[in-house]
Chain A
Amino acid sequence: MAAEPMRLAQGGRIDRTRTIRFTFNGRSYTGCAGDTLASALLAHGERLTARSFKYHRPRGITGAGQEEPSSFVELLGDDQSGSQPITTVQLRDGLAARSVNCWPSPRFDLLALNQLFARMLPASFYYKTFMWPNWHVYEPHIRRAAGLSVAPDADRVVGTYETRHWHCDVLVAGAGPAGLMAALSAGRSGARVLLADDATEPGGSLLGRSAQIGGRAAIEWVSAAVAELGAMPHVTRLSQSTVWAYREANLVVVTERAPATPGIFQRTWRVRAKQVVIATGALERPLVFHDNDRPGVMLASAVQTYIHRYAVRPGRRAVVFTNNSSAYEVAADMRQAGIEVAAIVDARAAVPAQAAALVPGIEILAGHVVAATDGRRALRAVRVRPRAGGAPRRIECDLLAMSGGWNPVVHLFSQSRGTLRFDSGLSAFVADVAQQPCACAGAADGRLDLPGCLEDGANKGMDAARLAGFTGSAAAAPAASTGPAVDTLALWHVEPSGASDKAFVDLQHDVTVADIHLSLREGYGAVEHVKRYTTAGMGIDQGKTGNINVVGTIAMAQGLPPEGVGTTTFRSPYAPVDFGAMAGARSGPVVLPYRHTPITAWNIAQGAVMYEAGARWRRPGYYPHPGEALQDAVNRECSAVRESIGVYDGSPLGKIEIRGPDAARLLDLLYTNLFSNLETGMGRYGVMLSDDGLIFDDGVSFKLGEGHYLVSTSTANADEVYRHMEHLLQIERPEWRVRVTPVTAAWANATICGPQARAFMAALGTDIDLSNESLPFMGLRHGQVAGLPARVARVSFTGELSFEVNVRARDARALWERVMVAGAPLGMTPVGSEASHVLRVEKGFLSLGHEVDGTVDPIDLGLGWILSKQKPDYLGKRALEIRRGNPRPRRELVGLLMEDPARLVIEGAPITPHGARQAAEGFVSASVWSVANQRAIALGLLTNGRQRIGETVHVRMKEDVVRATVTAPCFYDPKGEKLRS
């Protein structure tokens, strides 16, 4: 393996004894344990690591952490993942990574042809170009040319995602100097603390600098603080954990990306914290000038981090470009690391003496700016000129360390709905008024000096503990090294020399100052519009480095102060989060579990094809014999029911028991027909309307005794009807004395149907008198069936003589097995939902979801008789009257017999005048092959249908138009003699 020419001989937080092998774009490299992919590549002197999104310009590494806007990679093989910033990929043995957005490599990118079309591709080009004939013709090619990474195609195999729910007194986000002090203060007071930090080791900004705390290296102080926190059992410290969402009532979400527990790939903590301390630090922002995107142009703090944390020199000869004093410490560090610092270009007219004192012997060009850079695939020189104007001077360099100032990371504070204000001293937005129990601390609150961070962190931590009910005093802040005051000059972008300047404000999405000016010229001046018009801030980095420059650029162009422009809304997640981490264990069938009846296993053993039948119930669709096609099985099951005997499982139908002195009043209010005059042991078919007068549900309800009723509902609506009842009783009629209990799953049934039903029941064995005189149609009796306690109801959805045998759920399997044994000599056939659908269509019985689609009332369906004239009020009565007061024609339920008796039309097919392609006058609601009639039949809703019986109408199918005759909606036993037999 090649040596690492840019690796410093000493220093860094890496472990040089552990060599790691990895590949990048197919080439092999080595790195050290503790490296990121970025630091390892820089150690090898690899600077061209990416191509930009739109223009495919050569790009390198700009930052050192999550804020990285330039280089994104996808991981391959077992670690396969989508785009990630190159700076956050922890090096591990066998890692294989690939640059996204270029092919075949960043060095030689065929897709760079895009650059030739750059003038056609400004911001929002897709609103103005590539429009004819249809944007969708061009979109796939444009997407491919943009070369985004590919979604992983393999399920992750190396562990599960876990979710943990947690409560704590104080949650501290960030384990830098302020966060550690806050955790110490709160922890010492006895408060339960959760400290979460997104780096691989604590220390935050201290890891990338050579600061001193308490007279020793800051890293030693960090170790001591962490040891003290580790000894407190009420303090939990998480590393490689990003706090990515701040939601209502102090719910904060943290995802641990590398928990120590074997088998857990990532763990997401959903934390309710009494108080939150946001110690997330500050991010440096870049400066904006022509060609500011070349590989070798980096954030000054990133250069410093690569030197101190990773022992890497990102270049050999550097220029510093800054508008504040923090970069002077970086210049001094660079020189000490063996990087030649050719010049410091300071936009400020006067450089503070304290800053200049750090860099004796380095040329300082005060009042100057970098106006452009040179070099195609890497930086070779910068062009510097006085800020006010003048001839540029060329300085050769391969590294430009730029510092545009510092932005406190206020994202979580803003997500919590805290307001921001603009601090003109920092030229940045800082936290203003909190809306939830939280506070920013340290650099996140605008304190950029180390002593200030330590003190502020300690105080904010103690404040939080106190508010959470603990007593104590803030940890004493140790003395710490401090640099010159930052003293920032607002410099949102260097004045462009020409309209074609490519001065990037958003590196990830290739958004330039010119694009922002274009957006403003087009009238999109509000900051949220500029964001969406230019896509600035919409990438993976979410504009962590660039958004403030966007705001500043808008402000300059419009003559407003930055606070007059404002910021765009901060939204979670703060950093990319795996979907799996959000889902946790809620994936696959766990998310929406099926409901099963007690005989699901039996059904499957019989070879049933299982369907979902409303409200997540699994029901058999049909029971094919081996080799039998669907239609043949359905025909056979229908014949069995019409000619001899069949059995189906009606258990999923909703059942609700109603008890109390006001039970009858409740039914009378819910149903359109009268129920209070029902006799004990009898049932009645009822229709429920919603209060806007349209059909909500239907079912047969029984009186079991005084003040005791059993309501049955459709399968899909069981939960909705229960909710409807509880709402009515608790909100509208709290004074009524009645209780409702859903018992759908407590009872199972086997519904026996067919002309032989009575003979079969005798064979099955029962002590109930099932004669027509003793148990008439709609009756219900208690007793023993097949040796099991049962309720038997004479209800029929199929139109044949039918006994619904209800038993306790635990007896269902036994009942079914006894039914099949006793029924064998009679040819007992299990019947699925396909066949019962055919049978009910033959009878013209309604089914929710087919004829009842939320727009029909009972009169439309020919059920006008079910609307009680006696009752002064019931739910929906008033609205139904108002609606029918409108003379417009309504769609009514009819039957349809196709001219070609073998022709099946499809459900939902529209009926239009003469079959022409115009507005429908109705539609087909159900269409089946009728075994009893040996022809295709259908039901439909047709405008003025009942007046048009006998007419010919036209059903539009995909390929042709089918003629059909309108009939009454019943094709079998219209007088209902069979089910009353």
Chain B
Amino acid sequence: MLLISCPHCGQRNESEFIHGGPARMRRPQDPSALADEAWVDYLTVPANPLGPIDEKWWHARGCGAWIVLRRDTMTHRFLPRSNDGS
């Protein structure tokens, strides 16, 4: 039961959230500009590292905010992450 820091609600139990998968690059505005392989990769190849990953959580049973957090997939520790993603 992770303890997740929601920027609006503070530290809340994992059970209030729904995991939304790894954070991805923003959906391109013009998909037709990409080659087929690039679009398929965008859709089907998610990040899956052993170590820190940026991922989305939806505070569905709280404020309803979608947030992006950085978690270490081995230790489950949440790591600091600045707004620009570094």
Binds B, one of A245-253, A542-550, A823-831: A245-253
Whole-angstrom CA separation of A872 from B30 in the bound complex: 8
Whole-angstrom CA separation of A726 from B56 in the bound complex: 12
Contact A872 B40 (CB under 8 A): no
Residue from B1, B2, B39, B65 within 8 A of A878 (CB atoms): B39
Contact B2 A723 (CB under 8 A): no
Whole-angstrom CA separation of A435 from B66 in the bound complex: 29
Contact A873 B32 (CB under 8 A): yes
Residue from B29, B43, B64 within 8 A of A879 (CB atoms): B43
Contact A727 B20 (CB under 8 A): yes
Encode contact with A along B57-86: 1 for CB under 8 Å, 0 otherwise: 010100011101000000110000000000
Residue from A272, A435, A885 within 8 A of B75 (CB atoms): A435
Whole-angstrom CA separation of A731 from B22 in the bound complex: 12
- B40 to chain A minimum Cβ distance, whole angstroms, is 7
Instruction: Tell me if A201 is interfacial: C-beta within 8 Å of chain B.
Output: no
Set of chain B residues within 8 Å of A619, measured between Cβ atoms: none
Given contacts A723-B58, A723-B60, A726-B58, contact A877 B2 (CB under 8 A): no
Within B1-51, the residues touching A (CB, 8 Å) are: 1-3, 18, 20, 26-27, 29-32, 34, 36, 39-40, 43-44
Set of chain B residues within 8 Å of A692, measured between Cβ atoms: 43-44
Set of chain A residues within 8 Å of B18, measured between Cβ atoms: 723
Within A687-706, the residues touching B (CB, 8 Å) are: 691-692
Residue from B3, B27, B30, B31 within 8 A of A248 (CB atoms): B3
Contact B66 A730 (CB under 8 A): yes
- B15 to chain A minimum Cβ distance, whole angstroms, is 11
- A505 to chain B minimum Cβ distance, whole angstroms, is 32
Whole-angstrom CA separation of A364 from B30 in the bound complex: 87
CB pairs A–B below 8 angstroms (14 shown):
A248-B1, A248-B3, A248-B76, A692-B44, A723-B58, A726-B66, A732-B26, A872-B30, A873-B29, A873-B31, A878-B34, A878-B39, A879-B40, A882-B40
Q: Which of B3, B20, B66 has the most CB of A within 10 A?
A: B66
Given contacts A435-B75, A726-B64, A730-B65, contact A877 B31 (CB under 8 A): yes
- A169 to chain B minimum Cβ distance, whole angstroms, is 16
- B64 to chain A minimum Cβ distance, whole angstroms, is 7
Contact B1 A727 (CB under 8 A): no
Whole-angstrom CA separation of A692 from B41 in the bound complex: 11
Given contacts A723-B18, A723-B60, contact A272 B66 (CB under 8 A): no
Given contacts A248-B2, A272-B3, contact A882 B36 (CB under 8 A): yes
Q: Which of B29, B31, B40, B76 has the most CB of A within 10 A?
A: B31
Set of chain B residues within 8 Å of A877, measured between Cβ atoms: 31
Contact A727 B66 (CB under 8 A): yes
Whole-angstrom CA separation of A272 from B1 in the bound complex: 10
Contact B39 A879 (CB under 8 A): yes
Contact B1 A247 (CB under 8 A): yes
Whole-angstrom CA separation of A435 from B58 in the bound complex: 27
Instruction: Tell me if A92 is interfacial: C-beta within 8 Å of chain B.
Output: no
Residue from B1, B2, B39 within 8 A of A882 (CB atoms): B39
Whole-angstrom CA separation of A758 from B39 in the bound complex: 51
Q: Which 8 A-B pairs have the closest CB atoms?
A: A249-B3, A878-B31, A730-B66, A248-B76, A251-B1, A732-B27, A882-B36, A248-B2
- B84 to chain A minimum Cβ distance, whole angstroms, is 14
Instruction: Tell me if A616 is interfacial: C-beta within 8 Å of chain B.
Output: no
Contact B56 A873 (CB under 8 A): no
Whole-angstrom CA separation of A723 from B30 in the bound complex: 23
Given contacts A248-B3, A726-B66, A873-B31, contact A731 B56 (CB under 8 A): yes
Q: Which residue of B lies closest to A883 (CB)?
A: B40
Instruction: Tell me if A335 is interfacial: C-beta within 8 Å of chain B.
Output: no
Residue from B1, B29, B65 within 8 A of A249 (CB atoms): B1
Known pairs A727-B56, A885-B36; list 19 more (Cβ under 8 Å).
A248-B1, A248-B2, A249-B1, A249-B3, A270-B1, A435-B75, A691-B43, A723-B18, A727-B20, A727-B58, A727-B66, A730-B65, A873-B29, A877-B31, A878-B34, A879-B43, A882-B36, A882-B39, A882-B40
Whole-angstrom CA separation of A272 from B36 in the bound complex: 49
Whole-angstrom CA separation of A435 from B75 in the bound complex: 8
Q: Which residue of B lies closest to A730 (CB)?
A: B66
Q: Which residue of A lies closest to B34 (CB)?
A: A878
Encode contact with B along A710-727: 1 for CB under 8 Å, 0 otherwise: 000000000000010011
Set of chain B residues within 8 Å of A872, measured between Cβ atoms: 30, 32
Given contacts A249-B1, A882-B36, contact A873 B30 (CB under 8 A): yes
- B7 to chain A minimum Cβ distance, whole angstroms, is 12
